[in-house]
Every structure is written in structure tokens, then in C-alpha cells.
Amino acid sequence: MAKVNKKGDGRILKAYMVAYNAASFVGWAFVLAKTAMYVANNGTKLDGLFAEIGCPLIYVQTGAALEILHALVGIVRSSPLTVLLQVYSRLLLVWGTLYPFDYPEVRASYGFLLMVFAWSITECVRYSHYALSLLNIESPVLLYLRYTLFYVLYPAGVSGELLTMWAALPYAHAIRPSFKGFLILNMINYPPVLFKLYTHMIRQRRKILGGDSKPKAGTSANAVASGTPSKKKL
């Protein structure tokens, strides 16, 4: 088979990353829309929420595991450790908490609702920002939201995650006490991880927005977004 030249490689990688980010945006937008419609129709009666969004939530979040690979092989400029910390905790929530424990205390809790709203809003902004950046379409609004909403959404998401995991502890203990201990260890690890991710985003915001309420003049989202392909690959 003939080798693809570097320029061809770059085009393929760019097309792949556009498709990945666009598909991820669509998935999270679907979860967000379904969640909002459910709450609008049912209020705080959350018994049927997981049945509405459980499968798409698990699928779209599991797809984010590819981002670890993207960072490891250098397709994007993100730190592999930072990406791992972000993705691992969420995979633990969907596969280690929500999937195995079909109990209203876990799947129909306010913590679950808070977590889903925080995740889906964050990811809709993030993936749409990255996809447009790859297409050389700059959106100052998305850029600002990407590096500002985290002030509220990160603590909200972590609070929802901890509440959901806490609700699962008795059921984890019933399966195996060591499983409960594993979840507790992960909960204890949340504060330092949140501090690392939060301060990382604050540094990114200062770098990209310059600490002002508006993006720096001439700042290109494509040049600074950590989720866009690395120039050395493109």
C-alpha cells in the first residue's frame, strides 16, 4: 500500500478530529436536550430520568476515552495526565456507579441531575468550540464560554459526582466491601484532582483571554485550544 504523505496525513487527522468533535457535540446536545425536556415535563420527579438518557449518556461519555489516546500519541496538545484525570472520574461514574446500581437513590437523585447538566453544558461548549476552531471558524462567544463557565460548572459537576457516588456506597458494600472502599478512595481523591484541573483552567483562561472579560484581540481559538490537533501532526 502506498504511503500517505505528511500533508495527506494532516488532512486525514483534521477530518477525523472534526468528525470526532462534531459527533461528541451532537451526543452531548442530545443528552442535554432530553434532560431539559424531562425536567420541564416532570419537574423534580426524577424516577424516569435515567431511562431517558442513560444509554446515550454512557455511550457519549465512553467515547471520550479516545481523548486519552489522542493526547498520548500527540494528535492534540493536551496533557495526557490532565485528560486522564478528567476522563477517568467520569468513566468511574457511568460504569462503576450508574450502570451497576439500578436504584432511585443513585439514578434518580438531585446529584445525578446536577452532574448531567454540568457535564452536558460543559461538553456542548467545548466540543463545538473545538470543531469550529478546526474549521478556522472563530466564535468569541464560544471561546469566552469555554474558558469562563468552568468557574461554576466544575464545582457543580464535582458536587453532583460526589453525591451520586455517596448514594451508591451502601449498594457497593453489598456487592463487596472492597468495592465500597474503592469508591471512598476515589471520593477522597477528588479535592486534589479538582484543584489541579481548576487551576489548570484558570491558567488557560489567563493565557487565552488575558484575564479580561473579552478574548485577546487577534487570539485564534485554533491556535490555543488544547483540544485541537497539534501542528507537528498537521
What long-range pairs does 3-10 form, CB within 8 A, spacing at least 24?
9/233, 10/229, 10/233, 10/234
For residue 147, indicate whether it is catalytic.
Answer: no
For residue 154, indicate whether it is catalytic.
Answer: yes
Choice among 123, 144, 147, 161 that is catalytic: 161
Instruction: Give the residue ranges of DSSP H helices in 48-189.
Output: 49-63, 66-73, 80-93, 104-107, 110-134, 140-146, 150-175, 177-188
- For residue 228, what is the enclosing H or E element? none
Choice among 110, 154, 190, 198 that is catalytic: 154
Q: Among candidates 83, 87, 86, which has minimal Cα distance to 72? A: 83
Cβ neighbours of residue 225 under 8 Å, at least 6 residues apart?
129, 130, 133, 146
CA angle 163, 147, 124 (to 5 degrees): 65
The three-state DSSP-derived secondary structure of 174-206 is: HHCHHHHHHHHHHHHCHHHHHHHHHHHHHHHHH
Active-site residue set: 154, 161
